[in-house]
Amino acid sequence: MGAVSESNEGREEPLFEAPDVEVPTDAPPPVDAAAEAAGTDDAGAPGTGAADGDVDPDESDVPADVRVVVDAGIPLPVAQTPGGEAGVLGEAPDIEVPSDAPAPEAAARGRSSRFTRSDSGDWVARRSSTEPFDADADASAALAATGVLAADAASDADDDTDDEDDEAEARRRRRSRRPRKRRMWLQGGTSTQHWDWLLVGWAVVSLGAGVLVATAATEFVGGVLGGWIGTIALWVAMIVPTVYALTRSVPRGLFRFRWTDVLFGLVFGVLLRIVAGLLEQSARGASVWPSYPTVDGQLAGDWWFGDLVVPVVIAPAVEELFFHVLLLVALYTAFRRLTRVRAVAGFGAALVSTGLFVLLHELTGSLGTTWASGAAIALVGLVGATLVLVTGRIWGALLTHVVFNASYVVLALVGTMAGLGGGVGLS
């Protein structure tokens, strides 16, 4: 009978298959290995098994004509004892079979025993160090390996998908942290949906009505009262359509303020005043210093309103809102829808709004007696329109107009206090 060992699952598996050996008739009966390991013989009496589980070939019941060879280099097998405890079995011996013994039958499928013939021709049973072959177990292992590989592949695919999702999320977060460029009315949209040719027409009609009323007031009323009536009529004619358009929709970003608008106003306002002075000098052929009229060496009592507040605050605000908010934006939007080219739309809108700006000053008598005054007013209108079209904001143009007029007031006050004569009108 072959030795057995306990597998990982607790099953007893044969370690090797013992060969069929011819035993002489006078040999004693074999002793049951399990009973000997438990310390009893077949009759239940205490056996003489070795305490340490080693099998001594000299003390076993192997016939004398069978030589047992013990291989001490192989670890002792372990088996489950009847009492439930793991015990050490004897070392599986190498048995030399007599030469006249028949060839052993082939080991059953799943056995681990190996039989070789020695140089003397004897059959020798040797235990193999490999596990017994089990087709079902190997198939199950192969399927399990396939499942593991498939699971690993699926896990790798899931990891790749997770990595891609993480990268996409990281890109989205980086984009969200970037400051997005805000849309402006120059790009169209719902904020300028109602700013079209119809609005331009109503603005021109209103401005024309204001000019007619101002002219009539100057002709039929005359004097200071007629002048104020005409001025107020013009302001109302420009404010009413502007307020109407802004109550319907406010162009996106048009009234957004940046500190660079202050810089634009200061720089361009001063430059335009210098250019206006040079143009006036070129037109007159001599330098002319502006000044205010005086009465007994004193300025008029209402000069602070008519010569300071009106030209520096009210007039620039009303004119910029009408020409560079209402007209410019409506003209640009209408031209853009017509031509589909923003550059062409901007050029057309700036040209038309500047022409109307100069025409208003001509009709109201605000221009001087030389061509230089008209050129200076045209430059103010053109620079203001360009600032609005480039920045998308009104404040640069408004501050430029304010600085241009305020610089004239400062020069006129200096000329008045210094006793210098001559002057030109304000825009």
Q: Are residues 106 and 255 in the same domain?
A: no
- Burial code (b: 16+ CB inside 10 Å, e: under 16) for 164-188 equals eeeeeeeeeeeeeeeeeeeebbbeb
- DSSP H helical ranges for 315-394: 315-320, 328-339, 342-363, 371-391
Domain that holds residue 85: 1-128
Q: Are residues 264 and 123 in the same domain?
A: no
Beta-sheet strands, E only, within 51-102: 67-69, 78-80, 86-88, 94-96
Show which of 102, 128, 154 is a domain's final residue.
128
pLDDT at residue number 221: 86
Dihedral sign (CA 134, 137, 140, 144): negative
pLDDT at residue number 147: 52
Question: Quick one: which of 185, 234, 208, 119 has its CA closest to 349?
Answer: 185
Structure tokens at 252: 């996106």
Cα angle, residue 349 at apex, residues 347 and 355 outer, rounded to 5°: 100
Domain presence at residue 165: no
Looking at the structure of the chain, the number of domains it has is: 2
> Can you tell me the distance from the alpha carbon of 350 to that of 314, in angstroms, rounded to the nearest whole number?
22
> Can you tell me the distance from the alpha carbon of 365 to that of 249, in angstroms, rounded to the nearest whole number?
34
Calculate what percentage of the chain has a pLDDT beyond 70: 58
Domain presence at residue 81: yes
Domain presence at residue 77: yes
Radius of gyration of the chain (CA): 57
How far lies 159's CA from each of 153, 154, 188, 202, in Å?
10, 9, 45, 65
Q: How many Cβ atoms sit within 10 Å of the Cβ of residue 388?
A: 29
Q: Are residues 123 and 255 in the same domain?
A: no
For residue 427, give every residue at least 6 positions away whose Cβ sits within 8 Å of its Cβ, in sequence order, or none: 315, 361, 366, 376, 377, 380, 401, 404, 405
Q: Are residues 119 and 263 in the same domain?
A: no
**pTM for the structure as a whole:** 0.58
Domain presence at residue 200: no
> Can you tell me the distance from the alpha carbon of 391 to that of 324, in angstroms, rounded to the nearest whole number?
12
Domain presence at residue 199: no
Helix or strand or coil: residue 35?
Answer: helix
Show which of 111, 128, 145 is a domain's final residue.
128
pLDDT at residue number 344: 94
Show which of 96, 128, 160 is a domain's final residue.
128
Cα angle, residue 227 at apex, residues 226 and 230 outer, rounded to 5°: 85
Place of tokens 């499928």: 109
Element (H, E) at 159: helix 135-177
> Can you tell me the distance from the alpha carbon of 13 to that of 287, in angstroms, rounded to the nearest whole number?
124
Residues 186-243 pLDDT 10s: 888 888 888 999 999 999 999 999 999 999 998 888 888 888 899 999 999 999 999 9
Domain presence at residue 14: yes
Spell out, as residue ranges, where the chain has pLDDT lower than 50: 1-12, 15-16, 33-60, 62-91, 106-111, 133, 143, 145, 148-149, 423-427
Q: What is the mean pLDDT of the chain?
A: 74
Q: Which amino acid is at 95?
A: I
Domain presence at residue 385: yes
Domain presence at residue 340: yes
